[in-house]
């Protein structure tokens, strides 16, 4: 852990001013990921800007358009239990409850969840090279222990995954991330918020140094998936483990026929993995295994397995089919009994 | 009534429970001291090679850093490797922290930063630049297997059993044969309480050491031998141990480093390991088990061969003899055992929870399941056909063996008759499940142990023994034994453990402490009863004047005469 200064701000403007002052400043809220990284010398911020007292970004409110606006400081626990979320966006509640532990969900915030960093072993071990932690030093995961690593969207520089469950549901629901920086506020659709590693794996997101997340908006149209959804998470143990593969599935059905579909994967790429072409294959099709299998194949097209993670390709394919079947039947994977139904 | 409600065998609350759940129980890293300095260990990030240079300047400049110890500036300690031997270590040359520039394994402690606060020490440690000359290392047991060897010097009490009959011939003639290999990964003990040592500097060349250990006397002997101190000058105290599983049997490197720093800085020092650093020392060895079983067509064993290769370090031959039980559990006339080691660039493995047995039994019982399939027999039926009532390694008769009844009760309770052995045939909800069974075996050890018992005028009993309580309930069972012996309530008994000033006990391990320390307490209390009776007999007009031990009873806190209560 390095020495750093700590300051508490009560407005977004004040936070942005501090962030704009230099690259060594980092926002801290729940701290459930950042503090671990600081202790491990993976992150060495010169300044910590505590935003937990900014009242303006701590609520959940209905939007004029009929959606929900979630403040960046709303905790994962609060969000998962919020009645409007449970009723209108149950896929999001299920995804959050599939992650971490009650203690962590009580501390972790919506904005922090978006910005959590990969759980790649090499990223955490400062004795090893890592292009994400120390650009240009190399990626030992590519030829090393890569059981938990990505099978889609990788580059020659990085095969890390994004570890969030919440973000997979947000991607499926087409959420929008609201950020504010020196030059004002802007909105970023989920699909564009996280990056693929490319040749700059040190950058997880498109958030600029002077910007901070102020909230997330759930669109009104995503409420049609409330009746037919499932968040299916497969991991080495049933609780308190990151996903090897997770699937967020939402369907709008007309009798036995699919009118609209949403499908996103976690644990397989540097960002939640969603392809609208794969979803389009389901539209107008009967809600049955053959339809689901076609969508799975499309979503996994180009998947590349490595020494220890090739199993993820078939695992993901089966998980997609299972999650879509659960969604179609109106029997989503339970958040309480985590055994796979 | 002349009998007590006995405490032994009855459900009783842990007498140390309230202290543990309220936080009143203090563990090795929890003793608060004035001017306590904190040490943080720097670990090697390479597995083999040497340190070519260490830059300490930046770290030394951090305010609050008191000193940084490396192989270049460490104080002198004992010259001979043998001085670093401990009571339970294996043959070889024990690891000496900060001895020289050589790196023997990944995670090896190579520097100790001592500062006024733990966080300052940890921060300064991150600023130390270490330059290595790495050489190729070997940490793959399979790759090192061709160089495996029979350890020339056997660890005390840990030689494999003798072969019997002709296992190879019997195997070749057997109509049913199973030959399998079982590789079992290394396992780390990682008890809830990480290893830690707090050394109290008294200012008069004496030390009190709070060490996380399963044997205070072993830690004391190590410290006096390595640092040339007298036994009187070093008291080791460890009243509570947050789990050991064997990791606290041998002195670990934080003990050496904390004592070294305390003696050099002439102040109290604490060194505690982080959870990540708990992977930098002792662990159960990785093993490869080759099991061959021969049987007749009825499934009766004619041959058992168990050949194991276990990993050890380059500097010690740790022997956790995994083959010891394979000729013991089932009736077989021909058996052979071979226990080899392969050297890897790792820290020396150590004893962990019934050392050897879980590995060997896993291999044997897995092979027995293979044999059940080959013989087309139910796995329980196969075990019953091979049941044995005596110890085939020694030829001795066992005092009791309840395994048959255990099989029957287990099968009944699990509903074993509903088991379908066909893979993929049984489901629970949406999950595929399978039912299996296995037996375990472990010796009932006893070792020489001392205890004292003293009763005061208020009728309160104090029991003392140097043994630890690693969470196994030693405090409580010794209180139960003492209370029963003298007809007292549990609340009348105080138990003191984990202190070198108390009567000597071996390290706590191998499941021998209840039998060993319990017997010592029983013996001490029996002597106490005799002294009480003798004292009572000397009172004026005493009804006990001619009473023998058989004539009296200790009931409800009183000494009573059976015929004239």
- DSSP characters over A66-130: SSEEEETT-BHHHHHH-HHHHHH-HHHHHHHHTSS-HHHHHH-BHHHHHTPPP--HHHH-TTS--
Asked whether the predicted pLDDT for residue B279 surpasses 90, the reply is yes
User: Chain B residue closest to A2 (CA)?
Assistant: B123
Residues of B in contact with A127 (CB under 8 A): 45
Q: Which residues, other chains included, contact B309 with Cβ-Cβ below 8 Å and sequence gap of 6+?
A: B141, B145, B148, B287, B288, B340, B341, B342
Give residue for tokens 């194991």.
B308
Contact in structure between B266 and B199 (CB atoms under 8 Å) = no
Measured between alpha carbons, how far is A270 from A293 in angstroms, rounded to an integer?
24
A3–B430 CB contact, under 8 Å: no
Min distance B45 CA to chain A CA atoms (Å): 6
Strands B176-184 and B129-134: unpaired
Contact in structure between B536 and B497 (CB atoms under 8 Å) = no
User: In the predicted model, what is the mean pLDDT of residues B149-174?
Assistant: 93
Measured between alpha carbons, how far is A254 from A184 in angstroms, rounded to an integer?
43
- Residue A1: which of B123, B429, B431 has the nearest Cβ? B123
Min distance A128 CA to chain B CA atoms (Å): 8
Residue B132 region, left (φ>0) first, then alpha (ψ -120 to 50), else beta? beta
User: Chain B residue closest to A3 (CA)?
Assistant: B123
- Residue B123: which of A2, A127, A340 has the nearest Cβ? A2
Q: Does B58 touch chain A (CB under 8 A)?
A: no
Measured between alpha carbons, how far is A275 from A265 in angstroms, rounded to an integer?
10
- Which residue in B198, B260, B265, B264 sits closest to B235, CA to CA? B198
What pLDDT, on a 0 to 100 scale, did the predictor assign at position B155?
87
Measured between alpha carbons, how far is A306 from A292 in angstroms, rounded to an integer?
25
Residues of A in contact with B431 (CB under 8 A): 339-340
A340–B126 CB contact, under 8 Å: no
Min distance A121 CA to chain B CA atoms (Å): 13
- Residue A1: which of B45, B119, B431 has the nearest Cβ? B119
Among B46, B140, B429, B432, pick the best mutation site for testing chain A contact (most A Cβ within 10 A): B429
Can you read off the two tokens belonging to residue B219? 């830690």
Stronger pLDDT, A238 or B470, i.e. the higher one: B470
User: Chain A residue closest to B43 (CA)?
Assistant: A127
Burial class (CB in 10 A: 0-12, 13-18, 19+), B350: buried
Among B42, B47, B126, B139, pick the best mutation site for testing chain A contact (most A Cβ within 10 A): B126
Min distance B367 CA to chain A CA atoms (Å): 27
What pLDDT, on a 0 to 100 scale, did the predictor assign at position A22?
80
B431–A2 CB contact, under 8 Å: no
Angle at A276 between CA A264 and CA A132, to 5 degrees: 55
B126–A2 CB contact, under 8 Å: yes
Among A36, A37, A38, A41, pick the best mutation site for testing chain B contact (most B Cβ within 10 A): A41
Residue A258: phi, psi to the nearest 5?
-85, 125
B119–A339 CB contact, under 8 Å: no
Q: Which residues, other chains included, contact B205 with Cβ-Cβ below 8 Å and sequence gap of 6+?
A: B233
Q: Does B45 touch chain A (CB under 8 A)?
A: yes
The SS3 call for residue B213 is coil
Min distance B297 CA to chain A CA atoms (Å): 40
- Residue A41: which of B45, B126, B429 has the nearest Cβ? B126
What pLDDT, on a 0 to 100 scale, did the predictor assign at position B431?
86
Measured between alpha carbons, how far is B226 from B395 in angstroms, rounded to an integer?
43
β-bridge partners, B312: B343
Measured between alpha carbons, how far is B441 from B354 in angstroms, rounded to an integer?
9
What pLDDT, on a 0 to 100 scale, did the predictor assign at position B349?
98
B123–A3 CB contact, under 8 Å: yes
Q: Does B122 touch chain A (CB under 8 A)?
A: yes
Can you read off the two tokens belonging to residue B397? 């008769």
pLDDT, tens digit, for every residue of B529-556? 999 999 999 999 999 999 999 999 999 9
Strands A245-254 and A229-234: antiparallel
- Residue B429: which of A2, A41, A339 has the nearest Cβ? A339
What pLDDT, on a 0 to 100 scale, did the predictor assign at position A23?
77
Measured between alpha carbons, how far is A176 from B513 in angstroms, rounded to an integer?
63
Among A2, A44, A127, A332, pick the best mutation site for testing chain B contact (most B Cβ within 10 A): A127
Interface of B with A in 395-454 (CB under 8 A): 429-431
Residues in chain A: 341
A340–B430 CB contact, under 8 Å: yes
Which residues of A fall below an 8 Å CB-CB distance to B? 1-3, 41, 127, 339-341
| 3-state percent helix, strand, coil for chain A, nearest multiple of 5 | 30, 20, 50
A41–B431 CB contact, under 8 Å: no
Give residue for tokens 């990785």.
B286
- Which residue in A320, A201, A182 sits closest to A250, CA to CA? A320
Residues of A in contact with B45 (CB under 8 A): 127
Residue A219: phi, psi to the nearest 5?
-75, 150
Going through B72-135 in order, the beta strands assigned E by DSSP cover 102-103, 109-115, 129-134
Confidence of residue B565 (pLDDT cuts 50, 70, 90): low
pLDDT, tens digit, for every residue of B424-469? 999 988 889 999 999 999 999 999 999 999 999 999 999 999 999 9
Q: What is the pTM of this model?
A: 0.92
Measured between alpha carbons, how far is B99 from B539 in angstroms, rounded to an integer?
65
DSSP H or E stretch at residue B216: helix B216-227
Residues of B in contact with A41 (CB under 8 A): 126
A1–B429 CB contact, under 8 Å: no
- Kindly tell me the sign of the dihedral angle through the C-alpha atoms of A17, A18, A21, A23: negative
What pLDDT, on a 0 to 100 scale, did the predictor assign at position A140?
98
- Three-state secondary structure string covering B118-176: HHHHHHHHHCCEEEEEECCCCCCHHHHHHHCECCCCCCCCCCCCCCECCHHHHHHHCCE
Mean pLDDT rounded to a whole number for chain B? 96
pLDDT digits (tens), chain A, 341 positions: 888 999 999 999 999 999 999 879 999 999 999 999 998 899 999 999 999 999 999 999 999 999 999 999 999 999 999 999 999 999 999 999 999 999 999 999 999 999 999 999 999 999 999 999 999 999 999 999 999 999 999 999 999 999 999 999 999 999 999 999 999 999 999 999 999 999 999 999 999 999 999 999 999 999 999 999 999 999 999 889 999 999 999 999 999 999 999 999 999 999 999 999 999 999 999 999 999 999 999 999 999 999 999 999 999 999 999 999 999 999 999 988 888 88
User: In the predicted model, what is the mean pLDDT of residues B411-431?
Assistant: 92
Q: Which residues, other chains included, contact A223 with Cβ-Cβ below 8 Å and sequence gap of 6+?
A: A66, A88, A89
Can you read off the two tokens belonging to residue B479? 């209180």
Residue B194: phi, psi to the nearest 5?
-65, 160
The SS3 call for residue B560 is strand
Confidence of residue B5 (pLDDT cuts 50, 70, 90): confident
Confidence of residue B214 (pLDDT cuts 50, 70, 90): very high
Can you read off the two tokens belonging to residue A208? 């600029």
């Amino acid at each position: 852990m390095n020495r750093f200064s700590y300051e508490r701000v009560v407005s977004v403007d004040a936070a942005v001013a501090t962030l704009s002052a230099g690259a060594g400043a980092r926002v801290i809220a729940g701290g459930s990921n950042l503090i671990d990284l600081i202790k491990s010398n993976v992150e060495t911020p010169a300044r910590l800007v505590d935003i937990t007292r900014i009242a303006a970004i701590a609520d959940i409110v209905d939007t004029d358009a009929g959606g929900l606006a979630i403040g960046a400081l709303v905790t994962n626990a609060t969000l998962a239990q919020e009645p409007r979320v449970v009723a209108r966006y149950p896929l999001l509640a299920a995804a959050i409850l599939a992650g971490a532990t009650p203690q962590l969900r009580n501390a972790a915030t919506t904005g922090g969840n978006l910005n959590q960093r990969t759980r790649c072993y090499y990223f955490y071990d400062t004795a090893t090279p890592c292009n994400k932690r120390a650009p240009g030093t190399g990626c030992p995961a590519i030829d090393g222990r890569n059981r938990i690593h990505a099978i889609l969207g990788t580059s020659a520089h990085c095969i890390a995954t994004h570890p969030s469950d919440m973000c997979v549901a947000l991607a499926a629901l087409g959420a929008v991330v609201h950020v504010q920086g020196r030059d004002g506020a802007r909105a970023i659709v989920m699909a564009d918020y996280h990056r693929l590693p490319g040749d700059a794996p040190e950058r997880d997101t498109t958030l600029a140094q002077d910007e901070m997340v102020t909230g997330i908006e759930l669109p009104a149209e995503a409420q049609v998936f409330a009746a037919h959804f499932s968040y299916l998470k497969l991991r080495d143990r049933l609780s308190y483990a990151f996903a090897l593969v997770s699937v967020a599935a939402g369907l709008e059905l007309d009798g036995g026929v699919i009118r609209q579909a949403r499908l996103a994967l976690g644990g397989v790429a540097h960002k939640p993995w969603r392809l609208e072409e794969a979803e389009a294959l389901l539209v107008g099709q009967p809600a049955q295994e053959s339809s689901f299998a076609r969508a799975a194949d499309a979503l996994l097209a180009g998947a590349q397995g490595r020494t220890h993670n090739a199993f993820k390709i078939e695992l993901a394919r089966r998980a997609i089919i299972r999650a879509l079947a659960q969604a179609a039947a109106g029997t989503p994977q339970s958040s309480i009994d985590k055994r796979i139904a | 009534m002349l009998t007590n409600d006995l405490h032994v065998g009855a459900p009783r609350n842990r007498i140390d429970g309230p202290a543990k759940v309220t936080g009143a129980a203090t563990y090795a890293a929890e003793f608060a001291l004035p001017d306590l300095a904190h040490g943080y260990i720097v670990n090697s990030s390479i597995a083999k090679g040497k340190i070519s240079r260490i830059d300490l300047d930046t770290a030394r400049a951090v305010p609050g850093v008191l000193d940084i110890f490396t192989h270049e500036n460490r104080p002198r300690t004992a010259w001979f490797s043998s001085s670093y031997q401990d009571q339970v270590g294996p043959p070889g040359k024990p690891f000496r922290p900060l001895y020289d520039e050589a790196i023997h394994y990944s995670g090896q402690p190579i520097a100790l930063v001592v500062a006024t606060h733990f966080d300052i020490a940890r921060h300064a440690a991150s600023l130390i630049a270490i330059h290595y000359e790495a050489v190729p290392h070997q940490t793959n047991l399979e790759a090192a297997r061709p160089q495996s060897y029979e350890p020339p010097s056997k660890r005390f009490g840990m030689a494999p059993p003798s072969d019997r009959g002709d296992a190879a011939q019997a195997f070749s003639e057997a109509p049913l044969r199973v030959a399998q290999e079982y590789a079992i990964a290394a396992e780390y003990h990682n008890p809830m309480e990480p290893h830690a040592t707090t050394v109290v500097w008294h200012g008069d060349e004496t030390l009190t050491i709070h060490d996380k250990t399963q044997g205070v006397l072993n830690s004391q002997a190590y410290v006096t031998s390595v640092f040339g101190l007298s036994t009187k000058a070093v008291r080791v105290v460890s009243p509570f141990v947050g789990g050991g599983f064997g990791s606290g049997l041998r002195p670990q490197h934080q003990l050496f480093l904390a004592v070294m720093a305390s003696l050099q800085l002439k102040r109290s020092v604490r060194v505690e390991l982080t959870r990540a650093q708990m992977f930098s020392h002792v662990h159960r060895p990785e093993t490869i088990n080759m099991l061959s079983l021969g049987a007749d067509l009825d499934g009766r064993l004619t041959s058992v061969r168990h050949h194991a290769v276990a990993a050890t370090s380059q500097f010690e031959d740790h022997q956790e003899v995994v083959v010891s039980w394979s000729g013991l559990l089932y009736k077989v006339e021909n058996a052979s055992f071979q226990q080899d080691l392969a050297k890897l660039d790792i820290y020396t493995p150590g004893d962990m929870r019934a050392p050897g047995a879980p590995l060997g039994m896993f291999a044997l019982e897995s092979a027995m399941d293979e044999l059940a399939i080959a013989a087309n027999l139910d796995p329980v039926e196969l075990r019953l056909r091979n049941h044995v009532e005596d110890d085939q390694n020694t030829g001795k008769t066992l005092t009791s063996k309840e395994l048959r009844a255990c099989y029957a009760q287990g099968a009944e309770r699990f509903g074993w008759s509903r088991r379908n052995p066909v893979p993929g045939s049984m489901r629970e909800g949406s999950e595929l499940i399978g039912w299996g069974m296995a037996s375990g075996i472990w010796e009932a050890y006893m070792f020489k142990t001392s205890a004292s018992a003293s009763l005061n005028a208020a009728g309160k009993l104090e029991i003392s023994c140097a043994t630890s309580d690693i969470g196994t309930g030693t405090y409580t069972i010794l209180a139960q034994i003492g209370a029963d012996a003298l007809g007292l309530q549990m609340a009348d008994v105080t138990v003191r453990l984990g202190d070198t000033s108390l009567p000597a006990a071996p390290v706590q391990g191998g499941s021998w402490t209840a039998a060993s320390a319990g017997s010592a307490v029983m013996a001490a209390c029996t002597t106490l009863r005799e002294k009480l009776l003798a004292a009572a007999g000397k009172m004026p007009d005493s009804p006990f004047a001619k009473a023998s031990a058989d004539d009296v009873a200790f009931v409800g806190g009183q000494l009573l005469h059976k015929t004239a209560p």
